[in-house]
Amino acid sequence: MKLNGARIVWESLVREGVEVVFGISGGAVIHLYHALPEYPIHHVLMRHEQAAAHAADGYARATGKVGVCLATSGPGATNLVTGIATAYMDSSPVVAITGQVPTSLIG
């Protein structure tokens, strides 16, 4: 198996003991979703990015494990902000992963 950016992300999360990820797919993170079935991580499909961030926070509080949320770039990433802020204010361990379009397409 040839490593690429998506596989490195999942490998890193598995090594840190992550078992569950909350998220919603989008163009800038589709490569992560394509690689996900290769790893023992359960993905919980959410209807909205804000729900993913709050679910990751709730999961962290309930289990004591890190909560992980995943969203695409732009509005997907900004929709995570309220949940991330809530987790931050209460010192809840949450990791947010977002995509980004290629630099050459920005501007």
Taking only the tens place, the pLDDT of each residue in 55-100 is 999 999 999 999 999 999 999 999 999 999 999 999 999 999 999 9
* Residue 22 structure tokens: 């909350």
Looking at residue 106, its pLDDT comes to: 79
Query: If you search the block for the tokens 């991580």, which residue do you land on?
Result: 41
Query: If you search the block for the tokens 């359960």, which residue do you land on?
Result: 42
DSSP string, 39-89: SS-EEEE-SSHHHHHHHHHHHHHHHSSPEEEEE-STHHHHTTHHHHHHHHH
pLDDT over threshold 90, residue 42: yes
**Model confidence, pTM:** 0.94
* Residue 62 structure tokens: 């309930």
Taking only the tens place, the pLDDT of each residue in 15-29 is 999 999 999 999 999
Spans of all domains in the chain = 1-15+31-43, 46-72+80-100
